[in-house]
């Protein structure tokens, strides 16, 4: 039986494919208030602004290509039961070939009803405009978890972490909850690798942490080779 390997990825891994992060210099929030473009209140106040913001992000993501880190993670499936839990809403992991990806915060290429959250539709790279309605007659919105909304997939993510034999954190500041709490559910004995140019603060009670400071595209292929016994 293959060991279970769980990977948590954040904006840092996509940044190397040219996608702006939220908080860095030149990030997506520059020029916007978070509440204006990524909250239910913002959508009620100015839905056109919010839709256009995500239409732009969708076009940007469509142009991006998976980088060396995305491609390297695919090879872990050769020897491990690999699950990627991502905070990212792009599909770069899937385009690199990874087969088990859990999108905690939703997907850019999906729309959902504003009144029936279970009504989700694949829109590929198309825009969502005012007047685009679900079959129930409600306005469509991006299938994105906004600030102040529940993260419905967090229980499933916790279940993966509880049985993880190896845990890898890539490109996240571990500052956004509840995703940041997932490392707490990994068994104490399981090794936990953290890769980022700026290693986030890890509580001292989290054991067996191995930090690697550097870009994901450089450090992830090295770690993958080690885990596969190729170094």
The CA distance from 105 to 88, in Å, is: 7
Along the 231 residues of the chain, how does pLDDT read in single tens digits? 899 999 999 999 999 999 876 554 444 555 677 788 899 999 999 999 999 999 999 999 999 999 999 999 999 999 999 999 999 999 999 999 999 999 999 999 999 999 999 999 999 999 999 999 999 999 999 999 999 999 999 999 999 999 999 999 999 989 889 999 999 999 999 999 999 999 999 999 999 999 999 999 999 999 999 999 976
Q: What number of residues does the chain have?
A: 231
Catalytically annotated residue among 71, 93, 103, 105: 105
DSSP string, 60-129: HHHH----HHHHHHHHGGGTEEEEEEES--S-HHHHHT-S-EEETTEEEEEEEESS-TT-EEE-TT----
In order of 42, 47, 89, 155, 231, the CA distances from 123 in angstroms are: 22, 18, 14, 26, 42
What residue ranges of the chain are covered by domains with CATH 3.30.1600.10? 31-63+110-144
- 1-19+67-105+151-231 folds as Rossmann fold (3.40.50)
What global pTM score does this model have? Answer: 0.94
The CA distance from 227 to 231, in Å, is: 9
Query: Rounded to 10 degrees, what is the CA torsion of 145, 147, 150, 155?
Result: 70
If one counts every other C-beta atom within 10 angstroms of the C-beta of residue 67, the result is 20
Give pLDDT, residue 21.
67
CA 140 vs. chain centroid, Å, equals 22
Check if 103 is active-site.
no
The CA distance from 102 to 157, in Å, is: 8
If one counts every other C-beta atom within 10 angstroms of the C-beta of residue 181, the result is 14
If one counts every other C-beta atom within 10 angstroms of the C-beta of residue 96, the result is 20
Please state which of the four CATH numbers 3.40.50.10540, 3.30.1600.10, 3.40.50.20, 3.40.470.10 is assigned to the domain occupying 31-63+110-144: 3.30.1600.10
- Spatial strand order of the sheet with 209-213 comes to 101-103, 80-86, 3-9, 166-170, 192-196, 209-213
What residue ranges of the chain are covered by domains with CATH 3.40.50.1220? 1-19+67-105+151-231
Q: Which residue bears the tokens 């990212």? A: 88
């Amino acid at each position: 039986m293959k060991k279970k390997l769980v990977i948590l990825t954040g904006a840092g891994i996509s940044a190397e494919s040219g996608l702006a992060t939220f908080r860095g210099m030149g990030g997506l929030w520059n020029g916007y208030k978070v509440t204006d473009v990524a909250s239910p209140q913002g959508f009620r106040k100015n839905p056109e602004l919010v839709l256009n913001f995500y239409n732009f992000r969708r076009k940007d993501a469509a142009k991006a290509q998976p980088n060396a880190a995305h491609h390297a993670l695919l090879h872990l499936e050769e020897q491990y039961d690999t699950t990627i839990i991502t905070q990212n809403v792009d599909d770069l992991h899937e385009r690199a070939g990874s087969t088990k990806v859990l999108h905690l915060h939703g997907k850019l290429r999906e729309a959902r009803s504003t009144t029936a959250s279970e009504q989700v539709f694949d829109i590929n790279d198309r825009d969502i405009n005012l007047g685009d309605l679900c079959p129930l007659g409600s306005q469509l919105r991006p299938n994105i978890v906004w600030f102040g909304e529940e993260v419905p997939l967090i229980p499933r993510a916790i279940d993966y972490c509880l049985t993880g034999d190896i845990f890898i954190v890539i490109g996240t500041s571990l500052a956004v909850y509840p995703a940041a709490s997932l490392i707490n559910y990994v068994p104490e004995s399981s090794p936990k690798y953290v890769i980022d140019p700026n290693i986030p603060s890890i509580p001292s009670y989290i054991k067996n942490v191995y930090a690697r400071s550097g870009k994901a595209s450089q450090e992830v292929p090295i770690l993958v080779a080690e885990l596969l016994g190729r170094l």
